[in-house]
Chain A
Amino acid sequence: MQLIGKTKEKYSNEALIAGIKQKDRMILEYIYRQYFPMIIEFVGKNSGTKEDAKDIFHDGLTTIYEKSIREDISLQSSFKTYLYAICKNLWLMVLRRRKTASKIEAKEDFMTTVSSNIEEDIISQQRYKLYRHYFKTLGEDCQKVLTMFFEGISLREIATKMDFSEAYAKKKKFTCQKELISRIEKDKLYTELLVKS
């Protein structure tokens, strides 16, 4: 773990990003102690509750986590600035949905050197969150069939494991995919994210 001596942050950007990617509890606890109060303050000043701040903070960290899985993250700003910018954008999206985004009080100096891909990353995170949410609303058999299918298990094996015929397994897989996509498409947030992307 890379520590920084007498600078303001205890860990380097790289160490914090690596800690998030590796789901390192110690680093995440540090991030929580260090930056959650800043998000509580920001959300609190902008019509939100502590619970909202928690949701935004978690979504912000999940955005970074998912991005770190997809690609190497190289920050041109401090980690604090990056996290703050993501959380601010996430909260703006929520306020727009609640139709109260008339005025947002943010530390604009934080926003100067942050990557322009932030909105794209947030949209991906929000979409993936929707996918997971609706996946969990499927029936148990659907979840099992799709999970096995995504793991690369053949329809023949799925049929054996589920005590289905192979033809029924294929039909079931399609019905489940169709239902999942239909539920996602019916969500207003999905339409909103589609327009933004």
Chain B
Amino acid sequence: MKELREQDIDLIERVLSESASEEDLTTFNQRLADEPAFAARVEILKNINANVRAESDQFEELLESIHQDYQQNDMNEAPETAMGFRRVYYIAASLVLLLAAIFVFRNLNGPSSMERLYADNFTKPPENITTRDNSGYDDHLIAAVDAYRQNDFKNAITNFNTYLENHPEDDAANFYMGISYLADNQHNPSIKFLQKVINNQDSIYRSAAQWYLGLAHIKSGNIEAAKTIFAALAGSNSSYASKSKVILERLREE
């Protein structure tokens, strides 16, 4: 693929902003027809403008927040149907609960309650990470975030590891490394990386790291450590406070 030149971008921008001369337009249309790579770059530059703005990000953040609520509590109901079916739903829900209780009772050899508690509460946080080294770019970080985005946690771990060799104090990378290990069912290294994030009092990932550290402790069977973490979070004013209270109650019931 041809290297992108400054004059290519200037030409595309003149056309897109409708300030192109006749000569510009002729060149532009000719290249559009002859060079697929040029056409693809026009498409990127045309659409990137609107799409790097916050609108879609805000929409996705809203969905993420609704998802958290959905997972946690009352939204996790059966879908609503026509009016009048509500009562049927409640009866059905009661039966489902009864059957679920029987199922749990009869399946003591199935996944433990702690495993279920972990599975009910672990959701991979969306990647929200930027490169902050002086050069602005780091290939290993990009590869790690990309692998993480695609749920390829082993590859994410390998690349975060290489990146962290040169940037050991990057709390975002330490956080996502901890999550990648947890998602890959390696709770011990996960605990190490999440603890490192928590040790940084100023980290914006601190509350999230506490939440996932609590989950990592559940996964490792260290319930007392998990209780301590969730009790601290439940008493904080972080966005994890309410769900920490719920999980803490579940832990205390065990």
Contacts and interface: CB of A to CB of B under 8 A. Distances in A.
A135 B57 CA distance: 12
A30 B75 CA distance: 9
Contacts of B142: 137, 183
Contact of A137 (B47, B59, B82, B130): B130
A34 B45 CA distance: 37
Given A34-B80, A137-B130, A139-B132, 11 more contacts: A23-B58, A25-B62, A37-B79, A62-B56, A131-B47, A131-B52, A136-B130, A139-B136, A139-B137, A177-B4, A194-B40
Nearest to B63: A58
Interface stretch (B65-73, B186-194, B244-252): B65-73
Interface of A: 5-8, 10, 23, 25, 28-30, 32-37, 51-52, 54, 58, 61-62, 65-66, 69, 124, 127-129, 131-133, 135-143, 146-147, 150, 174, 177-185, 187, 194
B83 A6 contact: yes
B131 A139 contact: yes
Given A6-B82, A136-B130, A137-B130, A62 B60 contact: yes
B229 interface: no
B41 interface: yes
B53 A150 contact: yes
Contacts of B129: 136-137
Contacts of B53: 147, 150
B70 A36 contact: yes
A132 B52 contact: yes
Nearest to A143: B130
A185 B69 CA distance: 36
Contacts of A187: 146
B55 interface: yes
A129 B129 CA distance: 15
B56 A35 contact: no
19 contacts: A23-B59, A23-B62, A25-B66, A32-B66, A36-B70, A58-B67, A65-B56, A124-B47, A131-B47, A132-B56, A136-B129, A137-B137, A138-B131, A138-B136, A139-B131, A150-B52, A177-B9, A178-B9, A185-B1
B141 interface: yes
B47 A30 contact: no
A54 B145 contact: no
Contacts of B135: 139
Nearest to A137: B142
Nearest to A139: B136
B222 interface: no
For chain B, the bracket of interface size reads 35 or more
Contacts of B151: 51-52
Nearest to A28: B66
Nearest to A37: B79
Interface of B: 1, 4, 6, 9, 40-41, 44-45, 47-53, 55-60, 62-64, 66-67, 69-70, 75, 77-84, 123-124, 127-133, 135-137, 141-142, 145-146, 149, 151
A51 B124 contact: yes
Given A65-B56, A131-B47, A138-B131, A10 B62 contact: no
Contact of A33 (B44, B79, B137): B79
Given A33-B75, A54-B123, A128 B4 contact: no
A136 B4 contact: no
Contacts of B56: 62, 65-66, 128-129, 132
A54 B80 contact: no
B63 A132 contact: no
Nearest to A97: B150
A54 B151 CA distance: 13
Closest 6 A/B residue pairs (Cβ): A139-B136, A128-B51, A135-B52, A34-B79, A150-B49, A174-B6
Contacts of B133: 139
A62 B48 CA distance: 16
B52 A181 contact: no
Given A136-B130, A174-B9, A185-B1, A146 B52 contact: yes
Contacts of A185: 1, 40
Given A131-B51, A143-B130, A184-B44, A28 B83 contact: no
